[in-house]
């Protein structure tokens, strides 16, 4: 005699029943014939379950997607509440840590000041950096020359202020382009793997073997016209490898997570997985890289300009000012020390800012 199980007392609280979805609970392969002695002895029960709740299913997670759901949609909405998370977004937790650190506010204020000087140098001086009089050569500090004058009679303060525009512009633009290029190639290599990973990895190793400054010196020697954009392009060509390696490692680490496998099983497209899962998870290390890269690329521009292979002579920069001051270092060290101090302060500020952000983001245990 066949027996139809009674499900009237098995509805889960708080859920609307759905006859289209059944959860089969395990039981013996050959259930005994005839009706069970009592309801607790039932070996197989059909339970309508449209969604899952761990606390209502004995601590075991059973996920059943509705027919109308887009692949990966419900998974995306639940991934932020996955076990082990605090329910607070990653960057929200990082901001809670950052705002309690005095070093973050100091470097943020210094960064804002540097950006203001680079964007609007006329707010800090009314002199023209190209206005130089030999009669004022190596003039001492005075109201007209707050930091003195160099051997060409140029105001040192004006040179330092206007030099920030070129140096910081090159650093910011080069850091942005190297990060975009390196992150794109690193994500592609780590996500797709196979021959794509092998090809990108070999290209990365080739460019990684070329020192940044040496490659830039050779490249700047062959270009016909030197400018800020030319220097940015050359620094991008030889400076993207570090970001690519970090992005590839972070992508490979994220790609083995369970929610990535679940998204693929549900039929999510590659573009959806990359934009919804991969990119948010590699954002933290990439932000740290781009912050620290700004300081390194500013120093690279200064080194090239110091060697007279960077920006053109008519563009004020800290590297060129340091190069001009080295000839009179023993006679008037201030000509070299003031731009060198501005360069050191700026590079150190971005390095410390990147280190503070790395500590805040690195303290997280869960990347969504």
Give the pLDDT confidence of 302-314 residue by residue, as tens digits.
Answer: 999 999 888 888 8
- Specify the pLDDT at position 289: 87
Asked whether residue 290 carries a pLDDT value surpassing 80, the answer given is yes
CA neighbor of 133 nearest in space, from 158, 109, 111: 158
For residue 345, what pLDDT is reported?
94
pLDDT at residue 72 is higher than 70: no
pLDDT at 7: 45
Mean pLDDT to the nearest integer, 196-209? 93
Question: Where do the domains of the chain lie, and which CATH numbers do they carry?
Answer: 1-64 (no CATH), 90-362 (1.10.3720.10)
Q: How far apart are CA 88 and CA 93, in angstroms?
A: 7
Distance CA 163, CA 64 (A): 61
Across the range 52-78, mean pLDDT stands at 47
pLDDT in tens, 316-325: 889 888 988 8
User: Do the Cβ atoms of 201 and 195 come closer than 8 Å?
Assistant: no
Q: Where residue 90 falls among pLDDT bands split at 50, 70, 90?
A: low
Q: Which of 298 and 42 is assigned the larger pLDDT?
A: 298
Instruction: Give the DSSP letter string of 54-67.
Output: GGGTTT-------T
């Amino acid at each position: 005699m066949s027996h139809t199980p009674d499900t009237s007392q098995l509805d889960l609280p708080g859920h609307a029943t759905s006859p289209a979805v059944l959860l089969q609970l395990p039981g013996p392969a050959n259930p005994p014939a005839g009706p069970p002695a009592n309801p607790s002895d039932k070996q197989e029960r059909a339970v309508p379950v449209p969604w899952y709740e761990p606390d209502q299913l004995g601590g075991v997670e059973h996920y059943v997607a509705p027919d109308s759901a887009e692949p990966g949609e419900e998974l995306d909405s639940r991934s932020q509440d996955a076990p082990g998370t605090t329910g607070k977004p990653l960057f929200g937790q990082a901001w809670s840590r950052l705002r309690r650190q005095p070093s973050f506010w100091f470097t943020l204020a210094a960064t804002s000041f540097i950006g203001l000087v680079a964007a609007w140098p006329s707010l800090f001086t009314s002199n023209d950096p190209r206005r130089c009089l030999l009669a004022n050569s190596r003039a001492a500090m005075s109201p007209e020359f707050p930091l003195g004058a160099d051997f060409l009679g140029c105001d040192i303060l004006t040179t330092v202020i206007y030099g920030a525009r070129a140096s910081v512009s090159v650093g910011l633009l080069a850091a942005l382009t190297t990060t975009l290029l390196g992150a794109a190639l690193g994500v592609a290599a780590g996500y797709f793997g196979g021959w794509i990973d092998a090809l990108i990895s070999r290209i990365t190793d080739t460019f990684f073997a070329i020192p940044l400054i040496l490659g830039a010196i050779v490249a700047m020697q062959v270009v016909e016209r030197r400018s800020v954009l030319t220097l940015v392009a050359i620094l991008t060509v030889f400076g993207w490898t570090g970001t690519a390696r970090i992005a590839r490692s972070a992508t490979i680490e994220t790609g083995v997570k369970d929610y990535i496998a679940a998204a693929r099983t549900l039929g999510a497209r590659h573009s959806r997985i990359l934009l919804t899962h991969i990119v948010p998870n590699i954002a933290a290390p990439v932000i740290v890289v781009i912050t620290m890269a700004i300081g390194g690329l500013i120093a690279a521009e200064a080194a090239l300009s110091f060697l007279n292979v960077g920006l053109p002579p008519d563009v004020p920069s800290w590297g060129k000012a340091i190069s001009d001051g080295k000839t009179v270092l023993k006679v008037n060290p201030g000509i070299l020390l003031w731009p060198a101090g501005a360069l050191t302060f700026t590079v150190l500020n971005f390095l410390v800012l990147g280190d503070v952000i790395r500590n805040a983001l690195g303290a997280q245990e869960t990347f969504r």
